[in-house]
């Protein structure tokens, strides 16, 4: 220390800057004498103010350099006590093998500043983190040039040599990367032992050497400077056989699906033996047995190891593991009695109706869970979303194999939605909330909460291909019961459901006649407007009006039921329009005893609650560029290039490069856009289409498309170009209708010779214009490989212009699940379907009915069934086709399934069944996840009833790949 304090240096600094003393710059005057000299009061006050301001200004100018010096040289908040002078130097001592420059990179304390206790502690921590030192100690030393900070270090020993002995299957470079120990690394006994453990785990789990051992020959003592790993790799063990013993009721194939341990394919690919998976396998098998009612099941395992019977030269070090699971299934428990507790709303008979579990049947956890869900659903439809149903088996002492089922029910109370909020998460969410609101089924503020509507809304949103569908990021609805404390002074007005626009204009009588939201030009985009929840607020009672009347604002959107007067003020709707707590049935003498005499005024509050719902959604990858290739017996080889966007916005062009860079241009409104090219050897198609499932935020859909189509038929070549416009509506989850206009130019060339007159009439260009009306009823449980339900489509089409003919079609299919395993898998599905079609006499040849091939009539060639003139297939005006197909799994994992079928029907000129055909056959369906969702199909069929003019084909197939 130089003994000079900071205060002294500050004073000296102030003197050097030209201000020896602030008082010297202030005039030495007597204020009282000055006041006596200035008799006017205003003059005295002005002079006094000038003197004070001048003194303050001089004081600030003189003190400024001192203040700056204090800020620059003052001690830090965490300065070392008693050491406020700057450091003259920072040094490292004690390092023999590690360069000082390398150590200095980890030290942030610098000369020229007072020492900071916090920074020194951080420097010590950083030096220890390098694992170079056994000890790091900061010290201070007085030197001729000032105070010096010294980091005194004691180095760890350094590894002088590393060696791996015995490794043959794994290269030394790989082992070095796993351990991280090299020559010159810090020597650490604990790190060396941990490296040996990691190598052994690597050999056993990653490389399949189940019996590998790694020993630390050198490097386990403090005085060692060499690290030597002795490795005994042993043979690579693969699982080549898993079998089961004692399983009588459940097949080995079904049990094998529950195993985490997998067999090697052809003893070469995969199947690494991992002993740690065996306990997991036993636990999974027991859980499966317990689910089916085998509560006393016992499972043990036996392992054996064998050399290959036929050694393979490059696999001679391989050993085979055989794992056997010995099972004692025990008794399968039967359900003796089913009892219910706590039910008041529903009787026991109501709850028993439709139950999967029944008294006297074996216990099945899958059926039990379905019954619990069904009972919860019954309460959920009444708005009792928080009703609890607990089902538990009750076992009897001294009576094995028998259990009772007890359903304990807490019915809770009904709820109504108060507020519905939508949260769309993502790096840069751009989807308008109207996309969500338009797809909410029955979820409206003020409406009774219904569990089915919530589930249907989640399924609808998940099926849009706009949001994620997985369990973690998929549509999620969180419900919060509104506590009574939030209901005090509660204002309830229905605000617009749409964040992106106001309600449509009101027409005569106050009923809105426009769409749910304003035109796009007037809409407020959710991308730029602050988010507001969709909520229902109850106003204070109006004068001379009953309290329970439901009041809606002019911009209300509630299932299309918004009411507003001509002046824009809310209009009260009497009669049955009630809502908001208390929710009672108006006009009921049980509740209504109002002394005011209003027959609609309530007198008793019903026990209902309010809910706030939040829908959480994560935007999915909606833009896709897909490539595919396929071959089938009807269309030959085709390629496919598809550019699609399932969250398109036709009215949002880019306004800047940022819109393009962030991916918000042309996106966010839930519309569909598809650009497709399908070139092929026989058939080619090029298509561009756009559709909006909620056009102008209404319940109507609009779609339009343009296409070019080319096909080389056996009897002529056909080229089509045109477009279609369709308007549809989804009236319910299972019923929809549509109307479409089709305009096409059809060009027929290269006819077969001799050419029938109906084909001659179609040669060249033809303009085709039709209007089509259709209705679809679809109750299938899945659009892909359904097992229950039906789909029925009825359509009528009328041509006008160059051709004038009517056309009617009916297509129906029904699906039955005849058998399934107790766990629900392994379904045997029967499909029965049929097509009926009739068209008028003026129908051109290219619009008549044809049959034959993979999709219509197996056992016959493509278009190989129907009327023939001069050797040319001319199609028919009447078609009746039917099919019955039975599909069953050939493997427990259902990757390969077999089918047997019979196709039957006819295509002819007149209505009737005069030329009836029948074929029978069988085939395979192979599902390969890597090749896309559609299974590979191979069918063999033989016509048993046919016409002489028919063209037969025994084998039809479809193979496709899409990525």
Res 879: pLDDT = 97
Res 558: pLDDT = 30
Please give the Cα distance from 332 to 822 (Å, whole number): 13
Query: Does the model's pTM come out above 0.85?
Result: no
> In the structure, what pLDDT confidence band is assigned to residue 78 with cuts at 50, 70 and 90?
low
Q: Are strands 318-328 and 236-245 parallel, antiparallel or unpaired?
A: parallel
> In the structure, what pLDDT confidence band is assigned to residue 927 with cuts at 50, 70 and 90?
confident
> In the structure, what pLDDT confidence band is assigned to residue 619 with cuts at 50, 70 and 90?
confident
Please give the Cα distance from 534 to 700 (Å, whole number): 22
Inform me whether the pLDDT recorded for 94 exceeds 70: yes
Q: Which segment of 82-96, 584-598, 756-770 scores lowest on mean pLDDT? A: 584-598
Q: Which segment of 383-397, 558-572, 631-645, 680-694 scores lowest on mean pLDDT? A: 558-572
State the average pLDDT over residues 112-137.
89
- Which tops the pLDDT comparison, 427 or 903? 903
C-alpha closest to that of 357 among 307, 308, 393: 393
319, 307 contact by CB (below 8 A): yes
Q: Which segment of 89-103, 297-311, 498-512 scores lowest on mean pLDDT? A: 498-512
Inform me whether the pLDDT recorded for 615 exceeds 60: yes
Tokens of residue 142, six digits = 């007085």
Which residues are within 8 A (CB) of 575 and not within 5 positions of it... i.e. 6 or more apart?
none
pLDDT, tens only, 171-189: 999 999 999 898 878 888 8
C-alpha closest to that of 402 among 291, 296, 327, 285: 296
Partners of 477 in beta bridges? 615
3-state secondary structure of 508: helix
> In the structure, what pLDDT confidence band is assigned to residue 661 with cuts at 50, 70 and 90?
confident
pLDDT, tens only, 303-338: 887 766 555 544 455 688 889 999 999 999 999 999
Res 603: pLDDT = 36
Inform me whether the pLDDT recorded for 687 exceeds 60: yes
Q: Which segment of 595-599, 653-657, 691-695 scores lowest on mean pLDDT? A: 595-599
Res 79: pLDDT = 59
Please give the Cα distance from 422 to 434 (Å, whole number): 10
Res 532: pLDDT = 53
Res 710: pLDDT = 95
pLDDT, tens only, 3-31: 433 333 333 333 333 333 333 333 343 43
Query: Residue 937 — φ and ψ, nearest 5°?
Result: -125, 130
> In the structure, what pLDDT confidence band is assigned to residue 776 with cuts at 50, 70 and 90?
very high
Inform me whether the pLDDT recorded for 75 exceeds 60: no
Tokens of residue 853, six digits = 């091939």
Mean pLDDT over each residue of the chain, to the nearest integer: 79
- Total residues belonging to the chain: 963
Please give the Cα distance from 797 to 808 (Å, whole number): 6
C-alpha closest to that of 670 among 638, 641, 702: 702
C-alpha closest to that of 170 among 209, 196, 139: 209
Print burial letters for 783-815: b (CB count within 10 Å at least 16), e (below 16): eebbbebbbbbbbebebeeebebebebebbbbb
218, 226 contact by CB (below 8 A): yes
């Amino acid at each position: 220390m130089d003994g000079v304090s900071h205060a002294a240096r500050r004073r000296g600094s102030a003197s050097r800057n030209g201000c020896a003393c602030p008082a010297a710059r202030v005039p030495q005057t007597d204020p009282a004498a000055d006041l006596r000299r200035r008799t006017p009061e205003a003059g005295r006050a002005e002079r006094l103010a000038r003197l004070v301001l001048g003194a303050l200004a001089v004081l600030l100018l003189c003190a400024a350099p001192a203040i700056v010096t204090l800020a620059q040289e003052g001690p830090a908040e965490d300065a070392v006590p008693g050491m406020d002078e700057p450091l003259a130097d920072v040094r490292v001592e004690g390092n023999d093998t590690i360069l000082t420059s390398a150590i200095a990179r980890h030290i942030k304390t610098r000369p020229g500043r007072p020492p900071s206790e916090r920074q020194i502690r951080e420097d010590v921590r950083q030096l220890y983190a390098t694992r170079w030192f056994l000890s790091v100690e900061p010290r201070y030393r007085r030197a001729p040039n000032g105070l010096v900070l010294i980091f005194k270090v004691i180095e760890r020993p350094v590894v002088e040599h590393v060696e791996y002995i015995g490794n043959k299957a794994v290269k030394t470079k790989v082992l070095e990367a796993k351990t991280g120990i090299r020559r010159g690394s810090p020597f650490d006994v604990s790190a060396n032992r941990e490296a040996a453990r990691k190598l052994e785990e690597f050999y056993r789990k990653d490389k399949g050497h189940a019996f590998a051992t790694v020993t630390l020959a050198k490097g386990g003592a403090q005085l060692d400077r060499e690290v030597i790993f002795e490795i005994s790799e042993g043979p690579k063990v693969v699982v080549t056989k898993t079998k089961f013993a004692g399983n009588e009721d459940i097949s080995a194939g079904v049990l094998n699906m529950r195993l985490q341990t997998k067999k090697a394919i052809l003893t070469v690919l995969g199947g690494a033996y991992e002993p740690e998976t065996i306990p997991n396998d036993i636990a999974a098998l027991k859980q499966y047995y317990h689910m089916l009612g085998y509560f006393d099941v016992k499972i043990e395992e036996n392992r054996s190891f064998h050399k290959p019977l036929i050694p393979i030269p490059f696999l001679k070090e391989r050993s085979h593991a055989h794992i056997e699971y010995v099972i004692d299934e025990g008794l399968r428990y039967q359900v003796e009695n089913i009892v219910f507790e706590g039910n008041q709303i529903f009787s026991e008979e109501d709850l028993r109706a439709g139950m999967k579990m029944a008294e006297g049947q074996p216990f099945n956890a899958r059926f039990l869970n379905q019954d619990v869900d069904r009972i919860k659903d019954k309460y959920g439809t009444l708005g009792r979303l928080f009703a609890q149903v607990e089902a538990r088996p009750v076992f009897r002492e001294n009576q094995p194999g028998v259990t009772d089922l007890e359903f304990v029910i807490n019915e809770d109370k009904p709820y109504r939605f108060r507020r519905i909020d939508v949260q769309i998460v993502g790096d840069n969410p751009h989807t308008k909330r109207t996309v969500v609101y338009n797809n909410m089924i029955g979820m409206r503020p003020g409406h009774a909460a219904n569990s089915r509507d919530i589930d249907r809304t989640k399924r609808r949103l998940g099926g849009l291909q706009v949001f994620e569908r997985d369990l973690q990021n998929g549509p999620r609805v969180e419900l919060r019961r509104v506590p009574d404390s939030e209901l005090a002074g509660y204002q309830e007005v229905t605000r617009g459901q749409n964040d992106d626009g106001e309600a449509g204009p009101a027409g005569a009588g106050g009923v809105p006649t426009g769409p749910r939201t304003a035109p796009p030009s007037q809409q407020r985009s959710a991308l730029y407007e602050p988010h507001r929840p969709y909520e229902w607020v109850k106003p204070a009672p109006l004068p001379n009006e009953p309290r329970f009347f439901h009041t809606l604002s002019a911009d209300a959107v509630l299932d299309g039921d918004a009411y507003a007067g001509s002046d824009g003020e809310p209009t009260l709707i009497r009669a049955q329009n009630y809502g908001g707590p208390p929710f009672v049935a108006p006009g009921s003498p049980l509740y209504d005893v109002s002394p005011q005499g209003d027959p609609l005024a309530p007198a008793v509050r019903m026990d209902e609650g309010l809910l706030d719902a939040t829908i959480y959604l994560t935007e999915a990858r909606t833009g896709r560029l897909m490539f595919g290739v396929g071959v089938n017996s009807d269309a030959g080889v085709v390629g496919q290039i598809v550019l699609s966007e399932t969250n398109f916005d036709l009215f949002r062009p880019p306004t800047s490069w940022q819109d393009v860079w962030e991916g918000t241009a042309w996106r966010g409104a839930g519309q569909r856009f598809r650009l497709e090219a399908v070139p092929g050897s026989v058939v080619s198609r090029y298509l561009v289409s756009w559709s909006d499932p909620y056009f102008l935020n209404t319940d109507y859909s609009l779609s339009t498309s343009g296409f070019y189509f080319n096909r080389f038929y056996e009897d002529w070549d056909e080229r089509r170009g045109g477009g279609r416009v369709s308007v549809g509506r989804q009236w319910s989850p299972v019923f929809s209708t549509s109307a479409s206009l089709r305009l096409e130019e059809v060009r027929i060339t290269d006819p077969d010779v001799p050419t029938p007159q109906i084909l001659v009439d179609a040669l060249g260009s033809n303009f085709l214009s039709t209007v089509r009306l259709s209705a679809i009823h679809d109750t299938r449980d899945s659009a892909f490989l359904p097992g229950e339900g039906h789909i029925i489509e009825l359509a009528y089409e009328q041509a006008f212009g160059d051709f004038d003919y009517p056309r009617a079609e009916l297509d129906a299919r029904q699906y039955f699940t005849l058998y399934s395993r107790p766990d629900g898998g392994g379904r045997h599905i029967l499909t029965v379907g049929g097509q009926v079609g009739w068209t008028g006499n003026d129908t051109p040849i290219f619009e008549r009915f044809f049959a034959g091939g993979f999709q219509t009539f197996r056992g016959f060639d493509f278009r190989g069934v129907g009327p023939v003139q001069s050797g040319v297939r001319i199609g028919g005006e009447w078609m009746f086709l039917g099919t019955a197909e039975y599909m069953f799994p050939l493997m427990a994992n259902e990757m390969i399934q077999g089918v047997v079928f019979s196709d039957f029907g006819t295509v002819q000129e007149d209505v009737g069944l005069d030329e009836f055909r029948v074929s029978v056959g069988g085939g395979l369906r192979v599902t390969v996840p890597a090749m896309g969702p559609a299974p590979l199909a191979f069918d063999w069929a033989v016509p048993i009833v046919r016409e002489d003019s028919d063209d037969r084909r025994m084998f039809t197939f479809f193979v496709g790949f899409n990525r």
